[in-house]
A and B are shown apart, each in its own frame.
Chain A
């Protein structure tokens, strides 16, 4: 295997990690941008999505069972997210740090709940047959590279979901309301937008996408009660790096983080790469404190 194949292989790995990060961070970016709420239980929505796809694949068979699982993971996670918004987050408006703590409490309860139901050991979702196998490149500069279908599927899923969400925001009436509330909450309220329903919708959408991420994750790794926690910190870094509630920023930031850590892992261990990643994020903030994509505003003290 040539040197360029190694680098290209790591780049491929980086992109596939980035796609899961993007799916995980999309909802965070949305709810943070629109509602100024940090949802620490977001990682557990990944976990819920993973367990739901495990259950679905247990009871539904056939070649397209996994697609059904994706739908159920989305529906289940967004339902749970909606419930969380109505019962906890709605009452904590204007207190972002308190929301952070309360949702951390929710995440502990969900984790322990999963541990009581499914046990501490991970459960496996077997990928459908049409995802087994890989594309091998045998000739040219990248000879020896191996592109598993599962990872290609995840990348495709992330691209499709990102485009759907972007279309939803740009083209539908709900998307219009979302943009209005994002730009100026008070003014949209004054114009008759039911902002609490928009908030509920944004939150449910975001957690639903996290459920999809959990489903995708279940294809490549076992689902454990703590699966969310291992991704959530990176998802937060994506949000910080990407900029307040920007889809484009989130996409760029997850690519950047995925490629950076995959690239760093060529030269050093995983844990040192993690440390270096954090250092890079802190240094990056020195130059662009509001992230890659900045929303210009004359309001004071935002974010």
Chain B
């Protein structure tokens, strides 16, 4: 089983790495942006599948990363002394001070990584240390997504407003308009996605990952065992923010635009669907779900635009009610059912509640003790 899993993953990676040789330019650029989004999905699987924290505001961190890089791209595409077009339209005569830092690529990349991670950590700490979690957390992150987009749209002179930032030409001295660049960016995305995947699956095997799992299944028990759950949850959420920021940067770089329409309430909840469809507890599922849902969206919304929202609504209901563990859950479920016919599971192995098992064991030991007398 494990060897099968590993070999499926290696085949998939090879297929992705070789994609530029068998896909058309158009499809390659689509795949590239979906893979960038998959980095964000990994972060969601980390907090939702592993730690049980549902965030409906991942778009905010995606946006912070995307805008940080896009501001730099916007500045380098200008001639000396020029102002970004939307600033000129809004009547600004000089660059706002906080834009200046983004003139240097290194600082912009650091900001792309740090801003979302710090924002996520700050928000998570504020809420988790007061033990605000679950549904409350989900709703507050959703409100955050709404507030972030309204802020971006309203501050047109500084953020480009509803249209966002676009018109990028060069990055680190490379032209973004050449044909070969798209392919190189694709490969960079594959490498970053693979690294994020390997890092996350390593993290799942560490003690940190195991504590996260324990927090998901019984936060109070974890606390009574002497762990402070807050730093674990904050660190996990910061990591997911970091992943979302990286995804945003990669996305802006490949698509050439970032705008509030990509990171509001609805896009943020769409991100959750990707992970739910693929299987929230599986990293592989998160990537798979992102690719499948986005491909499906692209296909359905170009063929029958009215149907997409119906389709996505149904998908939500189906995933939650019929296969809550997503596609990967299904893939693991069927072999187990088949195996059960051959090796019926012993009642003791099935467990039940911990208390039940413990009291049964206690009763048994009492009986044995009486027998010894």
Give chain A's interface residues, CB within 8 Å of chain B.
32, 36, 38, 88, 91-92, 95-102, 104-109, 111-113, 115-116, 229, 233, 236-237, 239-240, 269-272, 274-275, 277-278, 281-282, 285-286, 289, 300-301, 303
Neighbouring B residues of A301 by C-beta, 8 Å: 219-220
B314 adjacent to A116 (CB under 8 Å): no
B316 adjacent to A108 (CB under 8 Å): yes
A233 adjacent to B143 (CB under 8 Å): yes
B134: contacting residue among A96, A112, A115, A269, CB under 8 A: A96
Task: List the 7 shortest-distance A-B pairs measured between CB atoms, nearest first.
Answer: A105-B316, A108-B313, A271-B154, A109-B313, A112-B309, A271-B150, A289-B130
Neighbouring B residues of A36 by C-beta, 8 Å: 135
The docked-state distance in angstroms from the alpha carbon of A129 to that of B312 is: 43
Neighbouring A residues of B147 by C-beta, 8 Å: 274-275, 277-278
Q: Given A109-B309, A112-B309, A285-B132, check contact A101 B320 (CB 8 Å).
A: yes
A286: contacting residue among B126, B139, B313, B316, CB under 8 A: B126
Give chain B's interface residues, CB within 8 Å of chain A.
54, 123, 126-127, 130-132, 134-136, 138-140, 142-144, 146-147, 150-151, 153-154, 219-220, 265, 269, 272-273, 276, 306, 309-310, 312-317, 319-321, 324
Nearest CB in chain B to that of A96: its residue: B135
Neighbouring A residues of B154 by C-beta, 8 Å: 269-272
Neighbouring B residues of A286 by C-beta, 8 Å: 126, 130
Neighbouring A residues of B310 by C-beta, 8 Å: 108-109, 112-113
User: What distance in Å separates the Cβ of B53 from its nearest Cβ neighbour in chain A?
Assistant: 9
Nearest CB in chain B to that of A288: its residue: B130
B130 adjacent to A285 (CB under 8 Å): yes
A240 adjacent to B140 (CB under 8 Å): yes
Neighbouring A residues of B312 by C-beta, 8 Å: 105, 108
Neighbouring B residues of A274 by C-beta, 8 Å: 146-147, 150
Neighbouring A residues of B269 by C-beta, 8 Å: 101, 104
Q: Given A282-B126, A285-B127, A286-B126, check contact A88 B146 (CB 8 Å).
A: no
A229 adjacent to B309 (CB under 8 Å): no
A105 adjacent to B314 (CB under 8 Å): yes
The docked-state distance in angstroms from the alpha carbon of A115 to that of B324 is: 29
User: What distance in Å separates the Cβ of B242 from its nearest Cβ neighbour in chain A?
Assistant: 21
- Most chain B beta carbons < 10 A, residue from A88, A101, A112, A236: A101
12 A–B pairs (Cβ distance < 8 Å), ordered by A: A101-B269, A101-B272, A105-B313, A112-B313, A113-B310, A115-B306, A233-B142, A239-B139, A240-B139, A240-B140, A271-B153, A281-B140
A98 adjacent to B134 (CB under 8 Å): no
Q: Given A97-B135, A233-B146, A236-B143, check contact A106 B320 (CB 8 Å).
A: no
A38: contacting residue among B135, B146, B150, B313, CB under 8 A: B135
The docked-state distance in angstroms from the alpha carbon of A106 to that of B142 is: 18
Q: Given A111-B309, A289-B131, check contact A278 B143 (CB 8 Å).
A: yes
A100 adjacent to B54 (CB under 8 Å): yes
Nearest CB in chain B to that of A226: its residue: B266
B306 adjacent to A112 (CB under 8 Å): yes
Q: Given A98-B320, A269-B154, A282-B126, check contact A105 B315 (CB 8 Å).
A: yes
The docked-state distance in angstroms from the alpha carbon of A222 to that of B84 is: 37
Known: A98-B324, A105-B316, A285-B136. 5 other contacts (CB 8 A): A88-B321, A92-B320, A102-B316, A105-B314, A108-B316
The docked-state distance in angstroms from the alpha carbon of A237 to that of B141 is: 11
B143 adjacent to A237 (CB under 8 Å): yes
Neighbouring A residues of B123 by C-beta, 8 Å: 282
User: What distance in Å separates the Cβ of A242 from its nearest Cβ neighbour in chain B?
Assistant: 12
The docked-state distance in angstroms from the alpha carbon of A32 to that of B135 is: 10
The docked-state distance in angstroms from the alpha carbon of A139 to that of B144 is: 43
A105 adjacent to B127 (CB under 8 Å): no
Neighbouring B residues of A104 by C-beta, 8 Å: 269, 313, 316
User: What distance in Å separates the Cβ of A237 from its nearest Cβ neighbour in chain B?
Assistant: 6
The docked-state distance in angstroms from the alpha carbon of A271 to that of B273 is: 28
B130 adjacent to A101 (CB under 8 Å): no
B320 adjacent to A102 (CB under 8 Å): yes
Neighbouring B residues of A271 by C-beta, 8 Å: 150-151, 153-154
The docked-state distance in angstroms from the alpha carbon of A107 to that of B265 is: 13
Neighbouring A residues of B140 by C-beta, 8 Å: 240, 278, 281-282, 285
Neighbouring B residues of A105 by C-beta, 8 Å: 312-317, 320
Nearest CB in chain A to that of B133: its residue: A303
Neighbouring A residues of B131 by C-beta, 8 Å: 289
Q: Given A108-B309, A281-B143, check contact A97 B315 (CB 8 Å).
A: no
Neighbouring A residues of B219 by C-beta, 8 Å: 301
Neighbouring A residues of B309 by C-beta, 8 Å: 108-109, 111-112
Nearest CB in chain B to that of A38: its residue: B135
- Most chain A beta carbons < 10 A, residue from B123, B154, B319: B154
B151 adjacent to A272 (CB under 8 Å): yes
The docked-state distance in angstroms from the alpha carbon of A277 to that of B140 is: 12
The docked-state distance in angstroms from the alpha carbon of A32 to that of B276 is: 23
Q: Given A92-B320, A112-B309, A289-B132, check contact A38 B139 (CB 8 Å).
A: yes
